[in-house]
């Protein structure tokens, strides 16, 4: 039988307070105001980074919160920019077994998170090799929506593309056939890499059973290296934008930082600037 762990509320609270105090605004892409009195980050800032309410996070720091779920702990680990060792310690203090260490992890490294923090006004997000979004900038969330909220196979953008037509709204309709082929090729790459008995294999089985469009494209056995570096994306408030895609690969974690930019001086660039403002407003309203 698996060993039962007990949540250590006092040590968990102490660890969270010390990690919060050790983080500076500049570490997470925030500006240091002239009136800041806190040595590290404020509780409301950490709560926003972790996508949780200030009240919930405050109760954890005050040794009176409920036991966090593993999903919530993963969000806290990313928000506090924890290393893998610190993440494992956090899980154990909260009464959970630390996630299995693997070559490919869903924990985003502090270094990659620091890069993401400095792209707050740019659509950027960290994704796994299965197309699962782990972290997003406000601008990316304004463009794509909150892609970290999904569970199961729906976490994969490729799976959502075929199983939820709303996932296609961000692309002009005339580009959909091209993206269907690209997502199928991406899924095939993951399937070939991880095998039929992997999560990728299970996702392929589900798509073959549920999506005739995917099954037809899968039969063509098309292989591609990467998506196109040029994409057209659209937003209901700013319109269509011609975007360039840049990729930063973390080989140790098996993760990709996707960054979307537009050529300065173009209409797409102006629309991207407006999107960045919308993203900032949505984040502020959510707090």
- CATH value at residue 83: 1.10.260.40
The total of structural domains in the chain comes to 2
Residues 6+ apart with CB under 8 A from 226: 247
The structure's pTM equals 0.72
Tens-place pLDDT, residues 45-91: 999 989 899 999 999 999 988 899 988 998 999 899 998 889 889 99
Q: Is residue 192 located within the same domain as residue 262?
A: yes
Residue 126 and residue 87 share a domain: no
| Domain, as residue range, for 164 | 110-286
Are residue 245 and residue 271 in the same domain, yes or no? yes
Q: State how far the Cα of 131 lies from the Cα of 136, in Å rounded to an integer.
A: 13
104 domain residue, yes or no: no
Q: Please say whether the beta carbons of 61 and 76 come within 8 A.
A: no
Instruction: Summarize the confidence of residues 119-134 as an average pLDDT.
Output: 92
pLDDT score of 102 more than 80: no
pLDDT at 17: 93
pLDDT band per the 50, 70, 90 thresholds, residue 225? low
Mean pLDDT of 191-199: 89
Residue 3 lies in a domain: no
Whether 67 and 116 share a structural domain: no
- What whole-number percentage of the chain has pLDDT above 90? 60
- Residue 2 in domain: no
pLDDT for the residue 285: 52
């Amino acid at each position: 039988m698996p060993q039962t762990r007990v949540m250590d509320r006092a040590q968990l609270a102490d660890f969270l307070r010390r990690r919060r105090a050790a983080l500076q605004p500049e570490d997470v892409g925030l500006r240091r105001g002239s009136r800041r009195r806190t040595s590290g980050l404020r509780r409301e800032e950490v709560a926003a980074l972790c996508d949780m309410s200030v009240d919930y996070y405050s109760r954890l720091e005050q040794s009176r919160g409920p036991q966090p779920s593993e999903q919530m702990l993963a969000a806290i680990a990313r928000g506090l920019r924890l290393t893998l060792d610190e993440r494992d310690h956090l899980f154990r203090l909260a009464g959970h077994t630390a996630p299995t260490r693997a070559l490919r992890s869903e924990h985003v490294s502090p270094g990659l998170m620091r890069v993401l923090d400095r792209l707050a006004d740019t659509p950027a997000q960290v994704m796994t090799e299965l197309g699962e979004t782990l972290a997003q900038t406000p601008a990316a969330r304004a463009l794509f929506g909150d892609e970290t909220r999904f569970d199961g196979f729906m976490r994969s953008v490729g799976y959502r593309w075929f199983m939820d037509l709303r996932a296609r709204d961000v692309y002009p309709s005339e580009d959909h056939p091209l993206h269907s082929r690209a997502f199928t090729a991406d899924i095939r790459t993951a399937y070939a890499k991880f095998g039929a008995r992997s999560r990728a294999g299970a996702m392929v089985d589900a798509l073959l059973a549920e999506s005739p469009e995917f099954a037809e494209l899968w039969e063509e056995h098309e292989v591609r290296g990467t998506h196109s570096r040029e994409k057209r994306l659209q937003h209901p408030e700013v319109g269509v934008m011609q975007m360039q895609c840049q990729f930063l690969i973390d080989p140790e974690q098996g993760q990709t930082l996707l960054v979307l930019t537009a050529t300065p001086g173009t209409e797409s660039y102006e629309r991207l600037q407006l999107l960045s403002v919308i993203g900032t407003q949505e984040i502020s309203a959510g707090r």
